[in-house]
């Protein structure tokens, strides 16, 4: 495609709005705090009752709305709410924002109901190419749009309707809300994964739908604030191109995340050594310097090549850091044959640690890091034969094993003796110290059995 002149940027001063500046500062600063605090996983709330689960869902949705994945949506939503000028009444802006949030809530509620109806087979969908490939293509297309390959705009007639502040404007805001939540998918984090896992085990249609709807309401707080503040946006310029490029990178990272279950090599390419981490960080820095974010594809051929190479290096570096973090320092000598594992345990006077894993289970990957902790590794290998079941397919064999061992949710680790007695369970992703604490009664049982076996 021939080069086209770069966009002309306006240097006109923008009107300052103190409340708008405060909101903008919160949007820029809170994500780091939210990510540092983690927001907590959903499993922390399950034992406290439904009230806490709803509160946790709302809070997690709010934190999700403050992550960078939502940044590219801010100019669009401001346009939808009529927040570009003070002439739109506050009540009307808030009602438009409410229509948008309800549309987003309906999308998430349908997701919750779907997972509740599918039950235990829902997770396996994330390892099915028929499901994963369309999701990945959608993310790639959205990223390409943010990079400027094409404009992802509604028809002019729809835009005109949404610019109205009358009744038809509400239907436009509602329709945009139906698809708006997917933009934040790469930043939903472990809470939403735990929430959906809980929904699949309960098969509670109302509970699943309502929890996901409340999650969307939490995400909607930001949009209500933006609508109320009526903050004026700066003129379109290079800053917006950089924001769009950042959003595009996040969408591509989301595409890689969904592809991971289909690409086993992604779980083995990293080294746990520090040189691999520093090399990956070096790729990220090189990508940023070359222009992955600040350059555009609407410039000279040289700049286009630089941006393309920068994006490739940036994504390679991000993938490297991600896989490094999920690579344990040492791997357990896993057995995969159940009968052989129990026979080995009897011969060596050990118990059996049964681990249920799946390619689509992110907490299962992180639990591998716990297994690789030096203290945990030594304790496990000295007293237990590690047996791992890959239940990614969720077929009849997988479901029978999960039912027999009581592994309703993932991750699931069950400590057994050779007589078939359950000694301890790990149902969540825990730190090494907590894992050792849970394992301690099972280890004492094995030690006592060994001592008794040595007595004449």
Q: Name the domain boundary from 327, 348, 365.
A: 327
Query: Are 157 and 302 in a shared domain?
Result: no
Closest CA to 227 of 345, 122, 129, 86: 86
pTM metric for this prediction: 0.62
Q: Name the domain boundary from 327, 357, 377.
A: 327
| pLDDT at residue 152, rounded to an integer | 52
Rounded to whole angstroms, the Cα distance separating 192 from 75 reads: 26
- Considering the domain boundaries, does residue 228 fall inside one? yes
- Write out the residue range of the structural domain in which residue 380 sits: 338-454
- Considering the domain boundaries, does residue 57 fall inside one? yes
Query: Are 227 and 269 in a shared domain?
Result: no
Rg (CA), the chain: 25
Rounded to whole angstroms, the Cα distance separating 126 from 135 reads: 10
Q: Which residues pair with 390 in a beta bridge?
A: 357
Whole-Å CA distances, 324 to 190, 284, 327: 18, 14, 5
Rounded to whole angstroms, the Cα distance separating 259 from 133 reads: 8
| pLDDT at residue 278, rounded to an integer | 95
- Considering the domain boundaries, does residue 4 fall inside one? no
Which residue bears the tokens 């401001």?
78
Rounded to whole angstroms, the Cα distance separating 417 from 394 reads: 26
| pLDDT at residue 224, rounded to an integer | 82
| pLDDT at residue 277, rounded to an integer | 92
The two three-digit tokens of residue 53, written as one number: 């689960």
The two three-digit tokens of residue 381, written as one number: 């290998």
- Considering the domain boundaries, does residue 13 fall inside one? no
Q: What is the DSSP string of 252-268?
A: HHHHHHHHGGG-GGGGT
The two three-digit tokens of residue 233, written as one number: 């946006």
Angle subtended at Cα 60 by Cα 100 and Cα 121, rounded to the nearest 5 degrees: 90
- Considering the domain boundaries, does residue 10 fall inside one? no
Residue ranges in 3-49 assigned as alpha helix (H): 18-37, 43-46
**Phi then psi dihedrals of residue 314, to 5 deg:** -60, -45
Do the Cβ atoms of 113 and 209 come closer than 8 Å?
A: yes
- Considering the domain boundaries, does residue 351 fall inside one? yes
Query: Are 412 and 311 in a shared domain?
Result: no
Q: Name the domain boundary from 214, 239, 262.
A: 262
Query: Are 241 and 295 in a shared domain?
Result: no
Query: Are 305 and 404 in a shared domain?
Result: no
Query: Are 169 and 313 in a shared domain?
Result: no
Number of folded domains in the chain?
3
Question: Block means of pLDDT (10 residues each) for the chain, length 456 residues?
Answer: 38 39 38 35 63 81 69 62 58 79 82 69 65 77 72 52 48 68 57 66 74 85 76 55 74 79 79 91 92 80 87 91 86 92 93 90 84 92 94 85 87 91 88 92 90 75
């Amino acid at each position: 495609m021939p080069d086209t002149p770069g966009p002309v940027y306006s240097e006109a001063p923008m009107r300052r709005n103190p409340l708008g500046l405060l909101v903008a500062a919160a949007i820029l600063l809170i994500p780091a705090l939210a990510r540092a605090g983690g927001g907590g996983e959903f499993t922390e709330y399950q034992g406290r009752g439904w009230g806490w689960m709803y509160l946790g869902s709302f809070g997690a949705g709010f934190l999700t709305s403050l992550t960078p994945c939502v940044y590219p949506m801010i100019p669009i939503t401001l346009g939808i709410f009529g927040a570009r000028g003070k002439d739109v009444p506050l009540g009307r802006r808030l009602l438009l924002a409410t229509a948008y949030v309800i549309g987003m809530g309906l999308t998430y509620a349908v997701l919750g109901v779907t997972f509740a109806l599918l039950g235990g087979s829902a997770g396996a969908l994330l390892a099915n190419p028929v499901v994963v490939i369309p999701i990945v293509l959608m993310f790639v297309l959205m990223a390409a749009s943010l990079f400027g390959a094409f404009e992802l705009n509604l028809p002019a007639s729809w835009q005109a309707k949404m610019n109205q502040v009358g009744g038809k404007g509400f239907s436009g805001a509602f329709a945009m809300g139906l698809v708006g939540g997917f933009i934040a998918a790469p930043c939903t984090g472990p809470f939403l994964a735990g929430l959906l896992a809980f929904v699949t085990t309960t098969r509670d249609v109302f509970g699943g739908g309502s929890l996901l709807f409340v999650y969307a309401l939490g995400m909607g707080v930001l949009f209500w604030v933006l609508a109320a503040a009526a903050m004026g946006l700066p003129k379109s310029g290079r800053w917006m191109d950089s924001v769009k490029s950042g959003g595009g990178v996040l969408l591509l990272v989301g595409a890689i995340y969904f592809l991971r279950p289909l690409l086993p090599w992604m779980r083995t390419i990293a080294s746990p050594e520090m040189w691999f981490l520093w090399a990956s960080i070096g790729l990220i820095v090189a990508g940023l310097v070359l222009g992955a974010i600040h350059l555009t594809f609407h410039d000279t051929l040289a700049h286009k090549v630089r941006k393309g190479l920068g994006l490739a290096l940036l994504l390679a570096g991000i993938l490297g850091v991600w896989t490094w973090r999920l690579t344990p320092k040492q791997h357990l000598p896993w057995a995969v044959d159940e009968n052989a594992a129990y026979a080995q345990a009897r011969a060596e006077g050990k118990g059996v640690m049964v681990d249920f894993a799946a390619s689509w289970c992110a907490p299962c990957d992180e639990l591998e890091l716990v297994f690789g902790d030096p203290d945990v590794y030594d304790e496990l290998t000295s007293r237990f034969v590690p047996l791992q079941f890959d239940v990614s397919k969720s077929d009849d064999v997988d479901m029978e094993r999960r039912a027999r061992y009581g592994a309703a949710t993932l991750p699931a680790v069950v400590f057994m003796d050779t007589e078939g007695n359950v000694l301890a369970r790990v149902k969540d992703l825990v730190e090494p110290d907590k894992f050792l604490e849970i394992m301690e009664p099972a280890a004492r049982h094995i030690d006592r059995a060994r001592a008794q076996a040595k007595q004449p």
